A and B are shown apart, each in its own frame.
Chain A
Amino acid sequence: MGRFFWKFLLSYWAALLLVVLGIGLTTWLYRLADEGRDASLESGPRATFVAESAAATLRHGGVAALRGVMEEWRRHGDVELYAVDASGRDLFGRPVSPDVLERARARAESDLEWKGARRVDLPGGESWILFVPIGHRSGLARFFRAGAPPSPWVPLLVGAVVSLVFGAALAWYVARPIRHLRAAFASLSAGHLETRVAPLMGRRRDEVADLGRHFDEMARRIQSLVGAQRTLLHEVSHELRSPLARLQAATGLARQNPQKLESSLERIEQEAERLDDLVGQLLTLSRLEAGVADASRARLESTDLVDLVASIAADARFEAESCGKDVVFSSHGETVADVRAELVGRAVENVIRNAVKFTAPGTVVEVTAGADAADAAFLVRVADRGPGVAESDLDAIFEPFYRGAAGSSGPGFGLGLAIARRAIAAHGGRVDARNRPGGGLEVEIRLPVGAPGLLPHRSA
C-alpha cells in the first residue's frame, strides 16, 4: 500500500467522520429542543392526527360514534387509542395508570404543536381525554422507543467503521491501477520497452484506464522508434563493412603482387568514393528526419517544377542509354512553386534513377509531370517495366536499406527512395508506389502547390 492509498483512505475517512459527527450533533440538539418528550405517550403527527380524529368524532357523534370508530381501528389493530372519561375509566375498560392519565391530561392542555392527546368537553358536561400510550405499538418501533435514547457515540462508531471499510475499498480501487502505472513507468525507464499495462487494467473504463491506454500507446511508439533506429544502425554498420572489406582485399592484393598496384588503387578509389557517397546519403537522410528542412524554409526558391523534372529526366536518359534502356519525358502546363529546389530535385532524381536501375533492358521508363486535375498539386509519375514489388512491400521500399526479396545486389544502398519520401514529406507532399498492370512499378510524387508557398507539414 503506497502513500497515495493512505492519503486517500484517511481523507475519505475524516470527511465521513465529520459528516457523521455533524449529523449526530444536530440530532442531539434537536432532541434537547424537543422539550415535550414523554416516555409514556405517543406524540408526533400520527398520534396527534388520531387524537384529533377521535375528538372530532366524539364531539359530533357522541360516545357511541367514538366507540364505533375505535372498534373499527382496533379491528385493524394499528392504533391503540385510549378514551378516558372524567372518572378515569377507559371506554373499553382497559386499565389506565393514574400517572399516564395525568401526563395525558397535562399534554392535552399544553400548546405543543404535536400534542398527541386531546381533551373533549361534551355539551352534557362529560369530559374525555383521548391519547395514545406508548407500548401499544408493535415490533421494531417498540424496540427503539422502549429503552433510553441511544448514546451519541453509537452512530459515531458505526459511521467510523463503515466509512473505514468503504474508504479502504475505494482507496484500493483507485490506488491499485496507479501502482501498476508507476511500476510500468519504472520498467519502461529501465529499458523494458515491451512493457504494457492494458492487461493489468482489466475492463476498467475510467480516467485511470485511459491513462493506461495512453501509456501503452506511448510505449508502443517508443519501442517501434527505437527498433527502427536499431535496425538502421545495424544496416548502416553492415553497409559500411562491405566497402571496407573490399578496401582491405584491394590493399592485400596490392601488397601481395606489386604488379596489381594500379588496378588495386583504382578499386580503392572506387570504394572510397562509395563510402563517401554512403555517408553523404546518410547525412541527408538524418537531416531530413531531424526536420532540418522545416527549419530552413527561408531557403525556398521559386522554381519551375516542370523544367526541373525535365532536366533530371534528360540526364537520366543519357545514363540509361548506355545500358540499353530509355527514359521518355512528357509534361503538361507549367507549375512554378516555392520549394527547396535541391531537395525536390534530389527526390525526383532518386525515383527516376531507381526506375532506370530496375527497368528491364530494352524497355522505357516513362516520366510525366504536371499539375493534377484540381490544380492543387504537382504530380510526377515515374513508371518502369521492371520486376515490380510484392504488394505487401509497396510501402516498405521507402524504408532505408530496403532490399527486394531477391536481395538486390546492384549498386546503391537502398537509401534513394527513403530520401525521396522524406524530402517530399518535408514539403507537405507524399510519394507512393503501385504495381503497373502489365508489369513494372509506378511511383507517384505528389507535391501540394495550391497555397502560395508550400505547406511545411512533415509526416513523421
Chain B
Amino acid sequence: MTRVLLVDDDVALAGMLREYLHGEGFDATTAHDGEVGVEEALSGRYAIVVLDVMLPRLSGVEALRRIRTQSRVPVLMLTAKGDDVDRIVGLELGADDYVPKPCTPRELVARLRAILRRSEAGAAGPGGPVTTGPLSLWPERRHAEWEGRPIDLTSTEFNLLEVLARNAGRVVTKAELSEQGLGRPLARFDRSIDVHISSLRQKVGRLADGRSYIQTVRGLGYQLVRE
C-alpha cells in the first residue's frame, strides 16, 4: 500500500480522510501540527505528504520550507479557497500541487494519484537520458543535469522539464503541460504552471547570450530553446 502522511490540525477531518484513503488503497498516517508533520515527512517512510496550510505552531508554508531543505518527497498542499498568496508561496517553495480546501475526498485522491503516477511513471520509464543542448534528464532516476552539474528539482518540476525537453524547440501549451506534467486538466485562472516554470528558470542555467533557456510564448505556452 502506498503510504501517505496527512498533516492537518482538524483531528476529525484527518480521521475521516484517513478512513477514506484507506478505502482507496492508501495507508495514511495523520499528524496534527507542523512540527510533528515535518519530522514524519523527513522520516522517508512516505510516498507523498498532504500538508494543510493552516497549522498550529508551525505554519504549513514554513513546514514545507523545512521539508524541502532536506527532502524531495512529493507534497500536496491543502490551501484555503481564494487565498492565492498561500498557494503561490507553496508552489514556489516546491509543493508539487495544491488542492483548495474544502474539497471532496474524491478530488484529493485524484490529485494524489496524479502526482504519484508521475513520479512512479518516471521511475519505471525507459532508461537513457533525454538530452537537449546543455540539459540532460534521466527520468528513471529522476535526475537532471545542466552542463554536467546536477540540478535539484522537485517531482513536479522534473515532470514539467521532461515534457518541455521531449518537445524541445516546439511550443508546449499550458494545457499540455498541465495534462502531462501535473496529470490534470488546466483549470481557469490556474497559475501553478507559471509558478513552477518560474522556479525552474531559476534552477536551470541561462544560455550563453543571457537568454532564458525556457522561453515564454505569450498566449501559447512555453518552449525550450533548441540550438
Contact = CB atoms under 8 A, between A and B. Distances in A.
A247 to B, nearest CB: 8
B72 to A, nearest CB: 28
B57 A249 contact: no
Contacts of A237: 80, 82
B1 to A, nearest CB: 16
A224 interface: no
User: Max chain B CB contacts within 10 Å: which of A251, A256, A260, A406?
Assistant: A256
Interface string A238-274: 1001101111111111011100100000010000000
A237 B11 CA distance: 19
B32 to A, nearest CB: 8
A141 B214 CA distance: 91
B102 A245 contact: yes
Contact of B81 (A241, A246, A256, A409): A241
A246 B24 contact: no
Contact of A253 (B11, B20, B54): B20
B16 A249 contact: yes
Contact of B80 (A241, A248, A255, A406): A241
A102 B65 CA distance: 114
Contacts of B57: 407
A245 B15 CA distance: 12
A256 B23 contact: yes
B105 A246 contact: no
A256 B101 contact: no
A248 B105 contact: yes
Contacts of B20: 249, 252-253, 256
Interface string B74-94: 000000111000000000000
A252 B24 CA distance: 11
Given A238-B54, A256-B24, A246 B13 contact: yes
Chain A, interface SS category: helix
Contacts of A253: 16, 19-20, 23, 105
A248 B81 contact: no
Nearest to B12: A246
Contact of A244 (B32, B33, B54, B102): B102
Nearest to A255: B106
A238 B12 contact: no
Contacts of A250: 16
Interface in B112-141: none
B12 to A, nearest CB: 6
Contact of B10 (A242, A256, A257): A242
Interface residues of A, number: 22
Nearest to A257: B23
B44 interface: no
B70 interface: no
A264 to B, nearest CB: 8
Nearest to A260: B19
A164 to B, nearest CB: 57
A248 B10 CA distance: 14
Interface string A313-324: 000000000000
Nearest to A408: B56
B104 A407 contact: no
B176 interface: no
Nearest to A403: B56
B62 interface: no
B9 A409 contact: yes
A261 to B, nearest CB: 13
B92 to A, nearest CB: 22
B17 interface: yes
A260 B104 CA distance: 17
A246 B10 contact: yes
A409 B16 CA distance: 17
User: Max chain A CB contacts within 10 Å: which of B13, B16, B32, B57?
Assistant: B16
Contact of A252 (B32, B82, B106): B106
Nearest to A270: B12
Contact of A245 (B10, B11, B33): B10
8 contacts: A241-B101, A244-B102, A245-B13, A248-B103, A248-B104, A252-B20, A256-B24, A409-B11
Interface of B: 9-13, 16-17, 19-20, 23-24, 32-33, 54, 56-57, 80-82, 101-106
Given A245-B101, A246-B16, 19 more contacts: A237-B82, A241-B102, A245-B13, A245-B102, A248-B103, A248-B105, A249-B105, A252-B20, A252-B105, A252-B106, A253-B16, A253-B20, A256-B24, A267-B16, A406-B56, A407-B9, A407-B56, A409-B32, A409-B56
Interface of A: 237-238, 241-242, 244-253, 255-257, 260, 267, 406-407, 409
